[in-house]
C-alpha cells in the first residue's frame, strides 16, 4: 500500500494534473456527488493544530471513493466531507481552519483507493466537499422561545454523574431543545447534552467544574445546528420559569372591571413554552359538540381549530364564579348548556341545560384569578385573569385525544391522569387558560 502512495507522490512530482495508476497516466474525472453538495477546495490538514474535519468516518481505507465518503457524511447529518491520503474520510459541521489552509489543487492528487480515476486528497492534504449549509452552531446556542438559558460547559464523570438522570427524548433525537422539553416534563430544572446524543437531567450541577465553552464542541447527531457537549463534557442549560403565585381566592373582585363576565372567550398558552418544534404553542379554545343523544347535546372545550364551533362565547352563571355557560349559539333555537362538574383527568364537559336535573346543587367550580405571573416576566399574553377549575388555575393541560374525531384533537383537560384511554399523559402540555373579553 505504501508503495502505491509513493508512486502517486512521484507521479504528483511529475505532473500536477494527472495521477499515475501504476502503468499509465490517467486524467482524474470529477466525482459525481449528490446535488446540493459541491467541491470546496484542497486544504492543508495540519494535524498538529487539530484536524480540519474532526470526525473520522472509520470507513475502510482500502475502498475509499469521494461518493462513499460524502454519502457517509450525509447519512450522519454532517455539512462537510473530506477525503485525505487516498483512503481516509472525515466529516464535520465546520472547517476547523487554523489560518488559511487552502492550497493548490495540485497538492490533492492521490488516487482514491476505491476508484483510481478519482482523487482523494494527499498526504496531509484534504479534498473538501460541502452541502452549502451556513447554519453552524453558535456557542452558547440559545433556545428558541424558551426559559432555558445556557449555563456553560461542565465536566461529567461516568463514575459520578454531574446530572444523574439520563432520559430519551421522543424518537431519541437528542438536541438541547428536545432534551429541555423532556427534562421539563420530568420536572427537572437543569439539563445537559453530552457526546453528541445523550440527554441528562438534574436540578443542579453540584460541584462539577465549569470549563471553557470550546470544550463542548461536539455537534448533536440529530441537529448539527447545536452543540451536544463532548466526551465527558455537558452543554448545560438551566430552566428559569417565572414564579407563579396564584391567588387561592375566587371572588368577584378578581374580575377586572373591563371584563364583561357574561361574554368572554378562552385562550390557552403553554406554561412551559415548547423549545423543540412541533409542540403546542397556544391557541384560542372553542366549545365543540361531541355527542348528540336525543334532546341532549354534550360539548367540551377544545383547542381544535378545524372543528365545527357551535358555541362562540362563555359566561359565568354567577357574578364571577359558577357554571360555565356557552353564551352565544350559532344554532337557531339550540337549548343553552351548562358546564358539568369538573372531574380530574377528563375534559371540561357541557350538557344541554334542559336535560340537567333541576335539583343539581350549585357548584361554583369555575371562576377567575388574577394573572399569576410577575410583572415584566414577559409571560402574560393578556392582562386578563386566568380561569380556575375547582380552585386550581395550575392544573389545566391540552392533551391530544386519540379517541376523538379528528384523531389527536387537542382537548382541554383538568389534572391529566396516567393510563387514560383517551390520551397519553406524557403528550399533555400544561397550560394557563386566559380569559379574554369578547370584542
Distance of alpha carbon 110 from alpha carbon 409, whole angstroms:
59
218 or 300: whose CB is closer to ligand NAG?
300
Distance of alpha carbon 334 from alpha carbon 109, whole angstroms:
82
* 87 contacts 36 by C-beta, under 8 angstroms: no
Enumerate residues 6+ apart whose C-beta is below 8 A from 306.
Answer: 406
| Least distance (Å) between residue 187 CB and ligand NAG | 5
| Least distance (Å) between residue 179 CB and ligand NAG | 16
Closest by CA position to 399, among listed 415, 387, 412: 412
3-class DSSP state of 4: helix
- The alpha carbons of the chain give a radius of gyration, in whole angstroms, of 31
178 or 315: whose CB is closer to ligand NAG?
315
220 or 234: whose CB is closer to ligand NAG?
234
Angle (nearest 5°) at CA 253 between 251 and 259: 105
175 or 401: whose CB is closer to ligand NAG?
401
| Least distance (Å) between residue 223 CB and ligand NAG | 26
46 or 329: whose CB is closer to ligand NAG?
46
Q: Where are the alpha helices (DSSP H) in 239-366?
A: none
Grid cell at residue 83: 477525503
| Least distance (Å) between residue 230 CB and ligand NAG | 20
| Least distance (Å) between residue 92 CB and ligand NAG | 17
Helix, strand, coil share of the chain (percent; to 5): 10, 35, 55
| Least distance (Å) between residue 74 CB and ligand NAG | 29
The DSSP element (H or E) to which 70 belongs, if any, is helix 66-75
Q: Where are the beta strands (DSSP E) in 249-329?
A: 264-270, 283-293, 296-302, 311-316, 321-322, 324-329
Distance of alpha carbon 206 from alpha carbon 42, whole angstroms:
46
Rounded to 5 degrees, φ, ψ at 15 are -145, 140
| Least distance (Å) between residue 62 CB and ligand NAG | 28
Distance of alpha carbon 19 from alpha carbon 5, whole angstroms:
11
Distance of alpha carbon 262 from alpha carbon 78, whole angstroms:
57
Distance of alpha carbon 112 from alpha carbon 408, whole angstroms:
52
Residue with cell 355527542: 291
Residue ranges that bind ligand NAG, judged by CB under 6 A: 44, 46, 48-49, 98, 187-188, 203, 260, 262-263, 290, 300, 307-308, 346-347, 399, 401, 403-404, 411, 413, 422-423
18 or 328: whose CB is closer to ligand NAG?
328
| Least distance (Å) between residue 308 CB and ligand NAG | 4
| Least distance (Å) between residue 328 CB and ligand NAG | 8
350 or 366: whose CB is closer to ligand NAG?
350
72 or 311: whose CB is closer to ligand NAG?
311
Closest by CA position to 224, among listed 131, 129, 101, 99: 131
Amino acid at each position: 500500500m505504501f508503495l502505491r502512495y509513493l508512486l502517486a507522490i512521484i507521479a504528483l512530482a511529475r505532473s500536477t494534473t494527472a495521477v499515475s495508476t501504476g502503468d499509465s497516466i490517467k486524467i482524474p474525472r470529477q466525482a459525481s456527488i449528490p446535488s446540493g453538495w459541491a467541491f470546496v477546495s484542497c486544504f492543508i490538514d495540519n494535524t498538529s493544530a487539530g484536524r480540519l474535519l474532526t470526525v473520522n468516518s472509520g470507513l475502510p481505507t482500502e475502498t475509499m471513493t469521494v461518493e462513499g465518503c460524502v454519502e457517509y457524511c450525509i447519512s450522519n447529518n454532517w455539512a462537510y466531507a473530506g477525503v485525505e491520503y487516498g483512503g481516509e474520510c472525515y466529516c464535520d459541521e465546520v472547517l476547523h481552519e487554523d489560518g488559511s489552509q487552502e492550497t493548490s489543487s495540485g497538492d490533492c492528487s492521490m488516487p482514491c483507493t476505491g476508484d483510481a480515476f478519482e482523487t482523494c486528497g494527499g498526504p496531509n492534504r484534504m479534498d473538501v466537499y460541502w452541502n452549502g449549509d451556513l447554519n453552524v452552531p453558535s456557542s452558547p446556542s440559545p433556545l428558541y422561545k424558551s426559559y432555558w438559558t445556557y449555563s456553560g460547559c461542565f465536566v461529567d464523570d461516568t463514575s459520578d454523574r454531574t446530572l444523574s438522570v439520563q432520559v430519551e427524548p421522543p424518537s431519541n433525537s437528542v438536541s438541547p431543545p428536545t432534551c429541555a422539553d423532556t427534562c421539563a416534563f420530568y420536572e427537572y430544572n437543569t439539563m445537559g447534552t453530552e457526546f453528541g446524543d445523550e440527554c441528562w437531567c438534574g436540578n443542579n450541577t453540584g460541584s462539577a467544574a465549569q470549563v471553557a465553552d470550546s470544550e463542548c464542541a461536539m455537534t448533536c447527531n440529530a441537529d448539527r445546528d447545536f452543540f451536544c457537549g463532548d466526551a465527558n463534557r455537558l452543554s448545560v442549560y438551566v430552566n428559569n420559569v417565572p414564579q407563579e403565585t396564584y391567588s387561592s381566592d375566587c371572588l368577584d373582585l378578581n374580575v377586572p372591571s373591563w371584563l364583561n363576565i357574561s361574554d368572554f372567550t378562552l385562550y390557552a398558552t403553554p406554561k412551559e413554552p415548547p423549545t423543540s418544534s412541533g409542540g403546542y404553542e397556544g391557541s384560542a379554545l372553542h366549545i365543540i359538540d361531541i355527542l348528540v343523544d336525543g334532546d341532549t347535546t354534550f360539548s367540551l372545550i377544545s383547542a381544535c381549530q378545524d372543528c365545527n364551533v357551535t358555541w362562540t362565547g362563555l359566561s359565568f352563571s354567577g357574578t364571577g364564579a359558577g357554571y360555565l355557560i356557552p353564551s352565544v349559539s350559532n344554532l337557531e333555537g339550540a337549548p343553552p348548556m351548562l358546564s358539568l362538574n369538573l372531574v380530574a383527568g377528563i375534559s371540561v364537559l357541557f350538557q344541554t341545560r334542559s336535560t340537567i336535573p333541576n335539583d343539581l346543587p350549585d357548584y361554583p367550580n369555575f371562576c377567575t384569578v388574577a394573572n399569576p405571573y410577575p410583572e415584566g416576566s414577559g409571560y402574560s399574553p393578556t392582562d386578563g385573569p386566568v380561569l380556575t377549575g375547582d380552585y386550581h388555575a395550575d392544573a389545566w393541560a391540552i392533551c391530544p385525544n386519540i379517541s376523538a374525531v379528528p384523531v389527536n384533537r387537542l382537548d382541554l383537560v383538568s389534572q391529566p391522569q396516567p393510563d387514560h384511554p383517551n390520551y397519553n399523559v406524557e403528550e399533555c402540555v400544561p397550560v394557563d387558560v386566559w380569559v379574554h373579553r369578547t370584542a
